[in-house]
Structure 1
């Protein structure tokens, strides 16, 4: 007597079917039924995956706070790279303050210096935080 995995009992494999001594017509019928259930199992797995993604997104979005910027707000810009002559962990983490000139969809923002000089490149809103003097 051989050991049989629980999975093989639920979804019969060739070995389990051969040992149970089914007739060939019954064996073909069971294989055909298993093939018919494949689409249903795929749809079930897809639904579970989508539900999981929605739950994870809901949980993630609960913690996020919407940040809205408008033209004229004062902001600090995060320093994204550290220069080789920096002071290590004592270097400044933010530049600024800057004045917001224009806000675009997709969280792109164009900044001005306090002197009024334009920054040529738009900045992502993730790299900004409001400045309260």
Structure 2
């Protein structure tokens, strides 16, 4: 129902703006295919919602509904999170927000710079957890950020662990160890040439962690020669059915 409510709010906002041609994208296959008439609406609670949406369609000259997988719809999640952080006064005119998309997250760029000084990515966190010392020339904002990050880490002897939300401890590894782990998990003795997301989950189950793990796993899988050659053939006979 929440997906239908969001759709209704969006359509009404478009109508108020005088928009006549609209492309609607949603990550709920149920809602999108019901509105396109490809799936029947059997749930009594959804029938009324669908009627409201269909009643609004007459306000548009041309409108299409397109399904987009949830893992490809991350921009919407980011915008929703951003919207929840902004308080807007009704009398205040909202200025446009300029956004840029990079191939790698900002944290990845920062960590690559840190690796150049032969120190692991977690060096500042380790130093603070062990000695309660800040890096040289650290600003007050840097210090606050470091204190916040350090709350999720535990030091046992000389080994630093990342504490997950379920309190499971993952050993932090540097770039050299991370490369060996990637090779072993993806194409080692027990490697399955899994995709990046699956690799990241497997590595965490094995008890290891580094801050760019997910991005590194995705890039490693993309560059794997065997995956590029045989990847499509593996799924040639895979079909999905919905009852």
Which TM-score bucket, shorter chain as reference? under 0.3
The TM-score with structure 1 as length reference comes to 0.22
Structure with greater Cα Rg: 1
Q: Which has the higher contact order (CA 8 A, sep 6+)?
A: 1
The TM-score with structure 2 as length reference comes to 0.14
Q: Write 1 or 2 for the structure with the bigger share of strand.
A: 1
